[in-house]
A = this chain, B = another copy of it.
Amino acid sequence: MRVLVNGREGGALDPADRGLQYGDGLFETIAVQGGSPRFLDWHLERLAEGARRLGLRLPEIALLRAEIGSVCQEPQGVVKLILTRGTGGRGYRPRADAATSRIVSAWPWPDREPRAWTEGVRLGWCRTRLGRNPALAGIKHLNRLEQVLARAEWDDERMDEGLMRDEQDQVISATQANLFARIAGRWVTPALDQCGVSGVMRRAFRSWSGDMDDPVIERALPASDLAAATGLVLTNALIGAWPVREFAGRKLALESSVERFNAWLARQ
């Protein structure tokens, strides 16, 4: 792993950093394709929105772009950018003048079987729920224990991803991906005003599908509504879109538009 901590190569983190102490920060996981970070503008827009919501001082965007560029040394890979509220402050109280910490790291591209894209993946329910909190909904903050507990629920080959509901039985997302459900001939994606992360690939899929004259409906999605779904799709920044071939034991047809979306994505 190549890493820059506040611009310093191979740097280590101060154990007093509030990112560790409280999860007081944000992150972005960015695909690098053809040597360039994909959808970087959208990642930086979400980061800026997160910083605004948390009251975190946003570093100069040009500096972030330069640091991301400098760790991107392979044609294909992953860049993870973490911003935290740095050190200091008494207890939970943040310092108004806190200097934001930047941790920019490069990771190898994850190996996954190509058939996840061509034949689809198996999705099941997670038991772990997502707590509802509008103050934190949608942004990609560092408080991710719910996803960690959900992802720890299975370690076998029964399922490839797990679908999470909130405390009021609304479907929100998979542990590491957003969801689109084909219901009554339309794409529906869960509203993320109570919890969940508004993914960059979710934005890309919505935008693309809208351009294809098939606009996505964003709404609250009760778990019971999935019984009517004829197709499901998972999206995230690294995988693009995966069709779901089996959900909670039920076989699903693969939506042909997913293949077209991934083909479009490969040209970006």
Give the interface of A toward B (CB within 8 A). Answer: 1, 3, 5, 11-24, 27, 54-55, 82, 84-85, 90-94, 96, 103, 105, 110, 128-136, 141-152, 155, 167, 175-176, 195
CA distance A1 to B27 in the complex (A): 27
Tell me the smallest distance from the CB of A139 to a CB of chain B, in Å: 10
By secondary structure, the A interface counts as: loop
Q: Is the CB of A149 within 8 A of B135?
A: yes
Asked whether, in the complex, the Cβ of B15 is within 8 Å of the Cβ of A3, the reply is yes
- Chain B residues contacting A93 (CB-CB under 8 Å) are 148, 151-152, 155
> Nearest Cβ in chain B — how far from A250, in angstroms?
24
Known: A5-B15, A132-B132; 5 extra A-B contacts, CB below 8 A, are: A20-B142, A129-B135, A132-B167, A133-B146, A142-B145
Q: For A15, list chain B residues within 8 Å (CB).
A: 3, 5, 11-13, 82, 103, 105
Asked, given contacts A12-B15, A22-B144, A103-B15, whether A96 binds B149 with beta carbons under 8 Å apart, the answer is no
Closest Cβ of chain B: how far from A122's Cβ, in Å? 16
**Given contacts A16-B105, A143-B23, is CB(A92)–CB(B148) below 8 Å?**
yes
Query: What are 30 A-B pairs with beta-carbon distances under 8 A?
Result: A11-B15, A12-B12, A12-B15, A13-B14, A19-B20, A20-B82, A21-B82, A22-B143, A22-B144, A22-B147, A23-B23, A23-B142, A23-B145, A24-B144, A24-B145, A54-B148, A55-B152, A90-B110, A91-B151, A92-B147, A92-B150, A92-B151, A129-B133, A129-B134, A131-B131, A132-B167, A135-B146, A141-B145, A143-B143, A143-B144
Contact partner of A176 among B91, B146, B167, B195, CB < 8 A? Answer: B91
Closest to A3 in B: B15
Contact in complex: B145, A96 (CB < 8 Å):
no
Per the bound structure, the CA–CA distance linking A24 and B150 in Å amounts to: 12
Query: Can you name the residue of chain B whose Cβ is closest to the Cβ of A149?
Result: B135
Chain B residue contacts of A27, Cβ below 8 A: 21
